[in-house]
Structure 1
Amino acid sequence: MASVLEKRERKKFLDDTIPLIPTITTHRMEVAGKQSHAAYVVRVQRGQNPEDSWEVSHRYNNFYALYQTLQVSNIPLDIPSKKMFGNTDRQFLNDRQQGLQKFLDQVMAAPVLRRHFEVKKFLDPTNYSLSFHEDALRNASMFFRSEPTWSVVEPLKDIGWRIRKQYYVIASKTDHRLPKHMLSWCEPGPDSSLGEKEMEACFRVMTDLRHPYILSPVLANYTGGGMMIVRELMPSGSLRDTIYGQRFQGSVLQKYGQPARSRALSLPDIAKYGRQVLEALVFLSEKGFPLGQVHAGNVLLDRGTCKLVDIENSLVGVPSLHRHHLIDIRRIHSHEAETVYSFGHMLYEMCMGQELKTATLDSVPESLPAGVVPILQRVLTSNGIKDNFPSLSNLLDDVFFSTVSLPPTGGKPLMKVSSKLKEVLKEHISKMELRLHEEQKKVSQLKRLSKAQESLMSEEEKRKRRKLRKKQLSLQETSEPESYPTTKALPRQNTIGTSGVTASTAVRSKANSAPPPASQSSSTQPAASTTSSTAKTKKSSATPKAPPPPTATPPAPQVDRPPPTEKRGALLGSIEGFTKGKLKKVKTKDRSAPKV
């Protein structure tokens, strides 16, 4: 039972924003019953950590089923065609493997596709095999038990990008004149650190919140399993629905894939909507409340007025839409800077009619309005993030937004946050920032390691290392006889000395000074003892006459050795400079005789 609970906890706190990187490594034949089929082994890596990887095996039919599911997005995808006969040929399987890899690359290049549940389930069936919709409906039924006046009108499946967040349209049973509401259920995320009491206090603040550009929840409830929020339903949908010309009830693939009615907003609307969102964000920041995770899907439109929603996402600890980009940008490490960066992506989407697929805006499109270009250069370009990154107040004071005249609102914004709750929220924000900083540091280390391995494995580096190794060997061979002379390198008759006559020459001259004995059979053998000289003389008379003694060999030429240096070592220099005459005479006293 404990293993099951641990498994569920691991799934609950998984960061769904980290992209999966699939690579088809090989194909193999598998047998099922009496039939065999080809299966393709896909190695999947989560993010940039090579240790967080696994393998899954899929048949061609599984790839084709995924292809048909994603066709509703209208994004062009290529997949190898089916073949009835000869589909087990080696060359055919190799060609099909390359075609399937191209298909996976196209899927992962489209943000709306790589975030979808079906793609996650195809690549990671262990963590995405559960039915999140049924799980959410089971938890929503508990709400209807405590609130019997509400009933479910219809479920809104797949209307948002979050996999672990489900939506339902609900209505009042007693008063049909009341407008319809939307109920959302969301599981906690990896940044969840608040307890139930702290969450209940935050929800009371949210329900009492009054601001013209924030849509407060009507009801809010939190348990250990997740968060339930009820808000008024906005039939016009979100800002993203307006950009793509879609209704809010449609599937996320159908709405935001590649619709034909996608268009950029007018410049006055961009300035007005941006000003309204910034007003809401600055208000929350001044109150010490965690900022909502800003993107075009979290901004609803109500008769031309923006309403910021889902400000509770930071409380429950779910990651933001652009977190996988923030991991690669170490300059953005605070909660407010993360919000400014997300606002820049939303501003780009309003101007261009589509999402920015890269982390930074390296080249500014010509179709961007002139008034927006300086803002995006400060928020989204690499140089702007490094040198001139603005705050929320700086953006609000920008000429593009400050010159917008907003209509008068009904009343003064109201939000009561106690000092004790502010301290709790401040600690919660610091924990989120710490986790972001740690992941940025880890990714930076992995990048450096990967870059070092690539440079070591490159052909140019291999050639450089081979040349350097050869050069070191040649230098070692040339310097070894000069720097470290050994006795093997010198002639055998030469030994260390300074008198000019070697030891072997001295021994030979001493032997030549005395006549050799008659019994000596060779010049190298010593003379026999006097006790056995007679016997040996008789014996040698029978043998042939011994050859004459060898003539004295001239002394060997002295080898010119360079003077001792420090490189040869102190030991070698002391040995070469040794002379017998420098030894001190010592008198010994023999005390071995016994004492009487």
Structure 2
Amino acid sequence: MAVSAMNYLQEHIWLPILIGIVSFIVLLLLIFLAYKLYRRCTRYDYTPLRDDLALPEKLSQARQIQRNEVRDDALLNFQFYMRSHNPKYSFSQHLPDMGSRVDKHWFLVREHGKWKDLVVTQCSKSPGCPLPFSSSNQKTIRDMLLDLQHPYIWPTADIDLWEEHEVVIVTQEFNSNGSLKDYIYNAKAKLDWSNKYGMKSRGLALKQIRLFGLQILKGALYLQENGFPPHCHIQAGNVIIKKGACRLSGYENVFLGYTSKLLPVIRRLLKEKPEAIDSLCMGHLLYEMGAGKELEEAVPTRAQLNRCQHPELIQLLEFIFDVAGDYPSLSDIADHHFFADVKLTELKKHPPQNIHLTAAMKALIKAAKKGKVLKSRSRTHVSSRSSLRNKNKSSSKRAPTTNGDLANSSQSKPSSAPAVTIPPPPLIQLAVPPPPSVPAPPPAVGFAQSSNNSNAARDVPNTEGRGALLSDIKKGMNLKKTVTRDKSAPKV
């Protein structure tokens, strides 16, 4: 059989040649089709036409482009601020949006010669800011925030009110472990907030909820006992966890006029009792720790309460979100039997210290509580500027009168002599006054050459200030002439 096949191929030699040619053509065609398919796929992956995109994708792309432009502008402004106002820090990284506030940006810096990272937040001035931007107000709020010393308060390293650009710069220590919200959702601190809190968490253990909850309450009560206004920003993102202890941050927001993220949700409940905002925020925080999810309504329903795994926590939440509207204070929540067996070792090791409030600090706290612009500093600033303006006007009015008397005593024409600015009296006490920058006009020179002491004494009233001025002017006229050597010409 094989011999017959070989004989057949020898007789028909063209058949294997034809099969080889056809196979080669088919192989080339397959390679060409694969190449065209690859080009088409890669082209549509990397260069999609905007008209072919769906509307949600177009909106998302436009928002991303706009956000990148805003971030680039914020980075340029921050680098300019670092060079001009804070050269002791070196820029490390422009962090992603770590919070939900749109006009807030986060930067990682490091002090020269040190290895500790600091996070600097840059946020635009709020329209409802009760604190006018000035150097005195900046010193007041900085001293007040730096005096806070409590084991459950996250310290502030520096705060700067950038008056030229109306921007608030807050510097704090950077915690690589992130916030309590990162701990609940098991997320990394440096990720964008819109990408790391989407999935529901299992919640925390009952022991952790008790410990963390009481620590946060003690930090908020410390601020309250020192006369601070309600925190208004108690939420998981403003609680920093370090070495197993929760430390409250974001307490500067109430002095800068920033509204809380929960305010639109709980605004209805605060009409009759606005001071209960911290208690309601604390209830939302405890629910998030227990259920592993944010509470989207002002008051949790029975189905939402059942998501919490611990009956003791449900009782506490029912106590906070009272149906009758008689919401408890932070002290009442801290005294609840839910926190009865919790031991706070940090308070024993580092007892808190009360701060001494100055008059300026008390005025700032009062303005923040009322939600009105601080006017005491601004009035003082305006009055000082008006007094300085009146002083300049009075001195400008006195100068032409003196020059007119001098011109009359020298019997010169008033039209030919321009107004000469007389130095203020304190400068007259100098032993050798500086020569005038502008040479004296010809009539004044004639007066100095022709008039004598008796005429000057007769024409000018015999007053101490006028005599001192006249003596000073005469000394200025009798100075020796100076010869200047002009070296500005180019050398050949």
TMscore range, shorter length: 0.5 to 0.7
The one-letter code of the counterpart of 2:283 is: G
Residue 103 (structure 2) pairs with residue 164 (structure 1): yes
Map Cα deviations across residues 237-280 of structure 1 (whole Å, 9 max, x no partner): 00000000011001112111126xx2201111101111011111
Contact 1:212 1:413 in 2 (8 A): no
Contact 1:166 1:186 in 2 (8 A): yes
Q: 2:316 aligns with which of 360, 375, 379?
A: 375
Contact 2:234 2:281 in 1 (8 A): yes
The one-letter code of the counterpart of 2:316 is: I
Give the corresponding residue for 1:568.
Answer: none
Q: How far does residue 137 in structure 1 lie from its aligned partner after superposition? A: 4.2
CA distance in 1, matches of 2:182, 2:84: 33
Residue 109 (structure 2) pairs with residue 188 (structure 1): no
Residue 389 (structure 2) pairs with residue 396 (structure 1): no
Structure 1-normalised TM-score?
A: 0.49
Find the residue that maps to 2:189 and give its secondary structure. coil
Contact 2:118 2:174 in 1 (8 A): yes
Q: 1:241 aligns with which of 182, 188, 193?
A: 182
Residue 278 (structure 2) pairs with residue 285 (structure 1): no
Which protein, 1 or 2, shows the higher relative CO under an 8 Å CA cutoff with sep ≥ 6?
2
Contact 1:348 1:376 in 2 (8 A): yes
Contact 1:132 1:163 in 2 (8 A): no
Contact 2:127 2:257 in 1 (8 A): yes
Give the corresponding residue for 2:246.
Answer: 306
Map Cα deviations across residues 89-111 of structure 1 (whole Å, 9 max, x no partner): xxxxxxxxxxxxxxxxxxxxxxx
User: Which stretches in structure 1 are left out of the alignment for 5+ residues?
Assistant: 1-57, 70-116, 434-596
**Residues 318 and 148 (structure 1 numbering): CA distance in 2 closer, same or farther, change over 3 Å?**
same
Residue 6 (structure 2) pairs with residue 65 (structure 1): no
Contact 2:96 2:106 in 1 (8 A): yes
Q: How far does residue 138 in structure 1 lie from its aligned partner after superposition? A: 0.2
1:323-362 equivalence runs, <5 A? 323-331=263-271, 333-334=273-274, 336-362=275-301
Contact 1:188 1:227 in 2 (8 A): yes
CA distance in 2, matches of 1:212, 1:161: 27
1:136-285 equivalence runs, <5 A? 137-139=76-78, 141-175=80-114, 178-196=115-133, 197-224=136-163, 225-258=166-199, 262-285=201-224
The one-letter code of the counterpart of 2:56 is: F
Give the corresponding residue for 1:386.
Answer: 324
**Residues 359 and 118 (structure 1 numbering): CA distance in 2 closer, same or farther, change over 3 Å?**
farther
Find the residue that maps to 2:94 and give its secondary structure. strand
CA distance in 2, matches of 1:165, 1:200: 22
**Residues 317 and 325 (structure 1 numbering): CA distance in 2 closer, same or farther, change over 3 Å?**
same
Q: How far does residue 385 in structure 1 lie from its aligned partner after superposition? A: 5.2
CA RMSD of aligned residues (A): 2.8
1:562-581 equivalence runs, <5 A? none
- Structure (1/2) with the larger helix percentage: 2
Give the corresponding residue for 1:562.
Answer: none
Residue 344 (structure 2) pairs with residue 406 (structure 1): yes
CA distance in 2, matches of 1:59, 1:414: 63
CA distance in 1, matches of 2:339, 2:106: 33
Q: How far does residue 299 in structure 1 lie from its aligned partner after superposition? A: 0.2
CA distance in 2, matches of 1:269, 1:211: 20
**Residues 376 and 424 (structure 1 numbering): CA distance in 2 closer, same or farther, change over 3 Å?**
same
Contact 1:278 1:396 in 2 (8 A): yes
Contact 1:180 1:232 in 2 (8 A): yes
Map Cα deviations across residues 149-199 of structure 1 (whole Å, 9 max, x no partner): 311111112221111111011112323xx3111111112224311123334
Give the corresponding residue for 1:428.
Answer: 368
Map Cα deviations across residues 29-66 of structure 1 (whole Å, 9 max, x no partner): xxxxxxxxxxxxxxxxxxxxxxxxxxxxx996442234
Contact 2:270 2:276 in 1 (8 A): no
CA distance in 2, matches of 1:137, 1:403: 51
The one-letter code of the counterpart of 2:74 is: D
**Residues 146 and 376 (structure 1 numbering): CA distance in 2 closer, same or farther, change over 3 Å?**
same
The one-letter code of the counterpart of 2:256 is: V
CA distance in 2, matches of 1:377, 1:61: 46
CA distance in 1, matches of 2:237, 2:228: 21
User: Which stretches in structure 2 are left out of the alignment for 5+ residues?
Assistant: 1-50, 374-492
CA distance in 2, matches of 1:365, 1:350: 12
Q: Which moved more, 1:235-244 or 1:181-190?
A: 181-190
Give the corresponding residue for 2:259.
Answer: 319
Q: Which moved more, 1:279-288 or 1:236-245?
A: 279-288
Q: How far does residue 286 in structure 1 lie from its aligned partner after superposition? A: 1.4
Give the corresponding residue for 2:439.
Answer: none
Contact 2:155 2:172 in 1 (8 A): yes
Map Cα deviations across residues 261-308 of structure 1 (whole Å, 9 max, x no partner): x22011111011110111111111111223431100000100110111
Contact 2:130 2:368 in 1 (8 A): yes
Find the residue that maps to 1:157 and give its secondary structure. coil
Find the residue that maps to 1:167 and give its secondary structure. strand
Find the residue that maps to 1:184 and give its secondary structure. strand
Percent identical? 24
**Residues 173 and 201 (structure 1 numbering): CA distance in 2 closer, same or farther, change over 3 Å?**
same
Give the corresponding residue for 2:235.
Answer: 295
Structure 2-normalised TM-score?
A: 0.59
**Residues 386 and 370 (structure 1 numbering): CA distance in 2 closer, same or farther, change over 3 Å?**
same
**Residues 191 and 386 (structure 1 numbering): CA distance in 2 closer, same or farther, change over 3 Å?**
farther
Q: How far does residue 136 in structure 1 lie from its aligned partner after superposition? A: 5.5
CA distance in 1, matches of 2:266, 2:325: 17
Choose 1 or 2 for highest CA Rg: 1
Find the residue that maps to 1:228 and give its secondary structure. strand
The one-letter code of the counterpart of 1:298 is: N
Q: How far does residue 146 in structure 1 lie from its aligned partner after superposition? A: 2.8
**Residues 342 and 137 (structure 1 numbering): CA distance in 2 closer, same or farther, change over 3 Å?**
farther
CA distance in 2, matches of 1:375, 1:388: 14
